[in-house]
């Protein structure tokens, strides 16, 4: 993986200021604006809005870093969903008639843009959404830029025999409709766009409203680079002001052949009920099991590192720990030594009231993706600055175990045996089939859990992010389609299989 560059807020502000100034002084020709309708966010409050052409203003919660981008002035960003889809269709028809060589060049330039913009979009995403950590977003954006498969995964297959030759190849759907989350806004756009364009498609994004600025900035940068290498305009498009209504239009539009949705249960259900083919990446609640044979120092390091990645907003990140009783106390001790803080006594109830919604099933959105030290400070605990994750021991029914909180707060449960730990992990994962992990040196236990948990990602003796290819082998994706069965999506899933047969000829042996 390429070396990642860290920029301070002053540098980010300087970069964004230059971008905004250039866009304001040189506005591309575009359709007249229509009055925008009041919008309802999918699942998180949207940030303040800015008028087109206005300089970005600082967020009160971001320490002064700018995040109000002039999204409508970026190429590929539209005010109207119908126009976005029409433009994407024109781009698709041009791409369809182009060579595979040009398509490969487009994919490579998209990677280059993602690498170059990683420092900027990582800072932008934190400033705009208030979620996660810049240092971890640098890792995630670099990961998708470098390890998302391109055309190389689309291999033709040929069969020859007494009756001639048959070949199967991967063909594009056309224009794909994609919905992206606020938790991984740029990572999802990068990996989706690379895979979809590699498959010969165009894509129209309805991004999460709370991340529209950074998302549309990235869409614009990708479009600029694609056109610069001779590619068609608008094969990647998005809405300037995404709404639930624009998402509905995208899902129902006759010009959309395939839906790819990365988000929560509501948007996944809507996509699967749309009447179109849908690839849906839904929620998870990844358990990590630690048995009595595990290397406990390794387990502690992995749990703290994985459970704190981007403040645990990644759907694959460890959300609860199920430990065999005889090693539970020692495991917690090592976790604390490597950056965890255990909340005990009356502070447990204070923490529950702070971070768990009144229904006991969902997080308090005000604390999603926040630093562990900030959460602890809010309940009166001054923790070391090195604290990355919070551990709370309880029983199986604890909301810290049952709910996917999307913050660095992990429930901890002790059980009598590895067998019971595996059974409990399966229950608290809620049969989402998303992600799970286990630390053990007993190959039979590892085998049993791998077979039993039946998740799209299962890691052994490593943080769950290894299953994304971060510190592990294999390609990456941030659209992990457990509900519809594709798992980690790639260009193959964004294409159709076509077969061509030639009878009685071309067999050469």
For residues 239 and 309, membership in a common domain is answered with: no
In this structure, of 37-41, 240-244, 352-356, 367-371, the range with the lowest mean pLDDT score is 37-41
Report CA 462 to chain centroid distance, whole Å: 20
Answer yes or no: is pLDDT of 11 > 70: no
Range 334-359 average pLDDT:
97
CATH number of the domain residue 173 falls in: 3.40.605.10
Q: Is residue 21 part of a domain?
A: no
39 is a domain residue: no
Cα separation, 389 vs 406, in Å, equals: 12
Question: How far is CA 136 from each of CA 201, 298, 471, rounded to the nearest angstrom?
Answer: 30, 20, 13
403 and 439 in a single domain? The answer is yes
One domain for residues 268 and 410 = no
Q: Please check whether residues 404 and 328 belong to one and the same domain.
A: yes
Assigned domain for 148 exists = yes
- According to DSSP, the residues that pair with 500 across neighbouring strands are 167
Q: In the predicted model, is pLDDT for residue 491 greater than 50?
A: yes
Instruction: Evaluate if residue 52 carries a pLDDT over 90.
Output: no
For residue 53, being part of any structural domain is answered with no
If pLDDT is split at 50, 70 and 90, which confidence band does 269 have?
very high
The reply to whether 422 and 344 lie within a common domain is yes
pLDDT at 509: 85
Residue 372: name the closest of 356, 362, 384, 358 by CA.
Answer: 384
State whether residue 207 is helix, strand or coil: coil
Confidence of residue 36 (pLDDT cuts 50, 70, 90): very low
List pLDDT tens digits, range 212-248.
999 999 999 999 999 999 999 999 999 999 999 999 9
Query: Would the pLDDT of 61 be above 70?
Result: no
Residue 18 lies in a domain: no
| CA distances, 171 to each of 100, 151, 280, 321, 493 (Å) | 12, 12, 20, 43, 11
The residue-averaged pLDDT of 261-276 equals: 93
Closest listed residue to residue 319, CA positions, set 467, 472, 464: 464
Which tens digit of pLDDT belongs to each residue from 38-48? 333 223 333 33
Q: Output the pLDDT for position 29.
A: 38
> pLDDT per residue over 278-334, tens digit each?
999 989 999 999 999 999 999 999 999 999 999 999 999 999 999 999 999 999 999
- Does residue 243 share a domain with residue 123? yes
CB-based contact 206:287 (threshold 8 Å): no
Convert the pLDDT of each residue in 440-474 to its tens digit: 999 999 999 999 999 999 999 999 999 999 999 99
Query: Is 15 inside any structural domain?
Result: no
Q: Which two tokens stand for residue 366?
A: 């005000």
Q: Extract the tokens encoding 435.
A: 């992600």
State how far the alpha carbon of 354 is from the alpha carbons of 130, 309, 368, 376, in Å: 17, 21, 11, 10
Q: What is the pLDDT of residue 437?
A: 99
Q: How many C-beta atoms surround the C-beta of residue 58 within 10 A?
A: 15
Flag whether 16 is in a domain: no
Which pLDDT value is given to residue 264?
87
Decide: residue 51, CB within 10 A, 0-12 exposed, 13-18 middle, 19+ buried: exposed
Give the rounded percent of residues in the chain with a pLDDT score beyond 70: 86
Unique residue bearing structure tokens 């990456």: 476
Range of the domain at 267: 74-282+483-509
Cα–Cα distances in angstroms (integers) from residue 81 to residues 31, 85, 246, 254, 422, in the given order: 13, 6, 6, 12, 46
Domain count, the chain: 2
399-439 confidence digits (pLDDT tens): 999 999 999 999 999 999 999 999 999 999 999 999 999 99
> Which pLDDT value is given to residue 505?
81
Q: What pTM, to 2 d.p., does this model score?
A: 0.85
Q: What's the pLDDT score for residue 506? A: 82
What's the CA gap between 31 and 47, in Å, rounded? 25
Q: What is the mean pLDDT of the chain?
A: 89
List, in sequence order, every residue forming a beta bridge with 495; answer none if it has no partner.
Answer: 172
Strands (E), 31-92: 77-78
E strand or H helix at 281, and its extent? strand 277-281
CATH number at residue 445: 3.40.309.10
Q: Is 131 helix (H, G, I), strand (E, B) or coil?
A: coil
- Dump pLDDT digits (tens) for 143-199: 999 999 999 999 999 999 999 999 999 999 999 999 999 999 999 999 999 999 999
Does one domain contain both 493 and 447? no
Predicted pLDDT at 14: 52
Same domain, 125 and 268: yes
CA distance 110 to 102: 12
Which residues are within 8 A (CB) of 111 and not within 5 positions of it... i.e. 6 or more apart? 145, 146, 148, 150, 194
**Are 377 and 466 members of one domain?**
yes
Residues 294 and 396 in one domain: yes
Helices (H), 26-133: 81-96, 100-129
In the sheet with 202-206, reading across from the earlier edge strand, the strands are 77-78, 236-239, 202-206, 175-179, 258-262, 277-281
Note whether 271 and 194 are same-domain residues: yes
Q: What is the tens place of the pLDDT at every residue in 65-119?
A: 344 444 447 999 999 999 999 999 999 999 999 999 999 999 999 999 999 999 9
pLDDT recorded at residue 215? 98
In a domain, 196, yes or no: yes
The pLDDT assigned to 177 comes to 98
* Residues 263, 294 share a domain: no
């Amino acid at each position: 993986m390429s070396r990642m560059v860290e920029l301070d807020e002053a540098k980010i502000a300087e970069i964004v200021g230059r971008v905004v100034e250039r866009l304001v002084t040189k506005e591309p020709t575009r359709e007249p604006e229509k009055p925008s309708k009041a919008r309802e966010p999918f699942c998180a409050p949207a940030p303040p809005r800015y008028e087109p052409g206005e300089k970005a203003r600082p967020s009160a919660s971001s320490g002064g870093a700018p995040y109000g981008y002039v999204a409508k002035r970026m190429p590929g960003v539209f005010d109207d969903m119908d126009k976005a889809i029409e433009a994407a269709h024109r781009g698709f028809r041009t791409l369809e008639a182009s060579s595979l060589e040009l398509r490969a060049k487009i994919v490579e330039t998209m990677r280059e843009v993602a690498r170059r913009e990683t420092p900027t979009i990582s800072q932008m995403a934190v400033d705009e959404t208030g979620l996660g950590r810049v240092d971890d977003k640098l890792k995630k954006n670099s990961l998708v830029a470098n390890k998302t498969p391109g055309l190389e995964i689309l291999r033709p297959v040929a069969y020859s025999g007494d009756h001639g030759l048959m070949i199967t190849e991967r063909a594009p759907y056309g224009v794909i409709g994609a919905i992206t989350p606020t938790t991984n806004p740029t990572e999802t756009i990068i990996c989706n766009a690379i895979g979809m364009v590699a498959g010969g498609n165009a894509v129209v994004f309805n991004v999460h409203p709370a991340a529209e600025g950074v998302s549309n900035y990235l869409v614009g940068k990708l479009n600029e680079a694609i056109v610069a290498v001779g590619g068609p305009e608008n094969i990647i498009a998005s809405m300037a002001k995404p709404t639930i209504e624009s998402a509905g239009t995208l899902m129902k539009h006759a010009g959309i052949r395939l839906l790819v949705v990365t988000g929560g249960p509501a948007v996944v259900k809507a996509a699967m009920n749309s009447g179109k083919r849908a690839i849906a990446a839904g929620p998870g609640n990844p358990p990590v099991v630690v048995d009595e044979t595990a290397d406990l120092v390794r387990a502690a390091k992995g749990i703290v590192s994985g459970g704190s990645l981007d403040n645990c907003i990644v759907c694959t990140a460890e959300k609860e720990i199920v430990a065999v009783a005889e090693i539970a106390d020692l495991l917690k001790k090592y976790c604390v030594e490597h950056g965890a803080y255990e909340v005990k006594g009356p502070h447990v109830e204070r923490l529950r009231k702070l971070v768990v919604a009144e229904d006991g099933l969902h997080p308090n959105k005000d604390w999603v993706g926040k630093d562990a030290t900030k959460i602890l400070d809010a309940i009166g605990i001054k923790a070391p600055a090195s604290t990355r994750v919070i551990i709370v021991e309880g029983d199986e029914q604890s909301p810290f175990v049952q709910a996917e909180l999307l913050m660095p707060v992990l429930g901890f449960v002790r059980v009598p045996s590895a067998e019971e730990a595996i059974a409990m992990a399966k229950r608290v994962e809620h049969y989402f089939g998303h992600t799970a992990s286990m630390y053990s040196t007993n190959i039979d236990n590892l085998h049993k859990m791998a077979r039993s948990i039946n998740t799209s990602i299962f890691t052994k003796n490593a943080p769950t992010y290894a299953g994304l290819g971060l510190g592990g082998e294999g390609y990456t994706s941030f659209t992990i389609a457990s509900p519809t069965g594709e798992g980690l999506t790639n260009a193959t899933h964004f294409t159709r299989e076509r077969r061509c047969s030639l009878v009685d000829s071309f067999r050469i042996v």
